[in-house]
Amino acid sequence: MKGTYLGEFEELVLLTVGILHDDAYGLGITDELEKQTKRNVTISSVHKALVRLEEKGFLKSGMGGATDARGGRKKRLYELTASGKKQVNEAKELRNNMWNAVPKVVWQGGN
């Protein structure tokens, strides 16, 4: 297994997979990410992140339903693995801890 370092974009992808729950596939994730971040997200970068996250063991995938719009191609549906969930949680905790460590005075901007 490769290192468990998680990039910002990868973290967002993991969260989106969580949001979409049982319909998390490439294009769906791209749309959701665009909606949430209001950024332009390319489908290739999402897939790139998905492949890497699966290699790291945070995601697992299986083939899902095909539609006419997809020319009969099945969706590759992703879901969070246990370590994936743990990783998201750890990331959130890490953030919270760091948040708490910032002195209040910084936010008040008093100096």
Partner 1 sequence: MAGRKLNYSPPRWAMRFFRWYCRKDLADGMEGDMLELYQRRAQQKGKFKANFLFIWNVLRFFQPFALKQKSEFHHSLTTIDMFSNYLKIAYRNLIKSKAFTAINIFGLAIGISSFIIMMSFVFNELSYDRFHSNADRVYRLTYNYEAGSGARQIARVPYPLKPILLSEYPEVETLVRFYRNTLDVTTVRYGEKNFTEDDILFVDPEVFEVFDFRLESGNPETALKDMNSIVMTRRAAAKYFGDENPMGKIVEYKNGDELQVTGILAELPDNSHLQFDMLVPLELQRQRWMRGNGNNSYDFEQDWNWSGALTYILLKEGSSIETFNSKFLEEGRDFFDRDDNTEFEFSGFPLSDIHLHSDMSGELEANGNMGQVIGFGVIALLILVIACINFINLSTARSAQRAKEVGLRKVMGALRQQLIGQFISEAMLIAFVATGIGVLIVELLLPYFNEFMGKKLSIPYLDGPFVIPGLVLGAITIGLFSGLYPAFYLSRFEPSKTLKGNLGARGQGNVRIRRLLVGTQFIISNLLIIGIFVVQSQLDFLRNKDLGFDKDQIMVLKHGTKIDDQFDLFNSRISNIPYVEAANLGYVAGKRAFTQTFRVDGQDLDAGKSMGIKYVSYDFAKMFDLDVINGRFFSKEILSDSAGAMMLNESAVQQFGWTNEQALGKKFSFIGGSDNQTRFEGRIIGILKDANFESLYQPIKPSVFKISQWGSISIKLNVQNGEELRTAIDDINVVWDEIAPTWPFEYSFLDQELEAQYVKEQRLGQAVQYFTFLAIFIACLGLFGLASFTVQQKTKEIGVRKVLGASVRSILILVSKSYIGLIVISFLVATPLGYWLSNQWLQNFEFRIFVGPFYFIIAGLISIGIAALAISSQSLKAASSNPIKTLRHE
Q: Give me the residues that bind partner 1 (CB under 8 A), please.
A: 25-27, 30, 42-44, 47-48, 51-52, 61, 63, 66-76
Q: Return the DSSP state at 69.
A: G
Two structure tokens written together for 60: 């697992």
Between CA 80 and CA 56 the distance in angstroms is 12
Please, which residue, 69 or 106, has the CB nearer to partner 1? Answer: 69
Alpha helices in the chain (DSSP H): 8-20, 26-37, 43-55, 82-101, 104-108
Please, which residue, 4 or 89, has the CB nearer to partner 1? Answer: 4
Give min distance, CB of 26 to partner 1, in A.
Answer: 4
Give min distance, CB of 76 to partner 1, in A.
Answer: 3
Between CA 91 and CA 11 the distance in angstroms is 8
Give min distance, CB of 1 to partner 1, in A.
Answer: 16
Please, which residue, 47 or 85, has the CB nearer to partner 1? Answer: 47
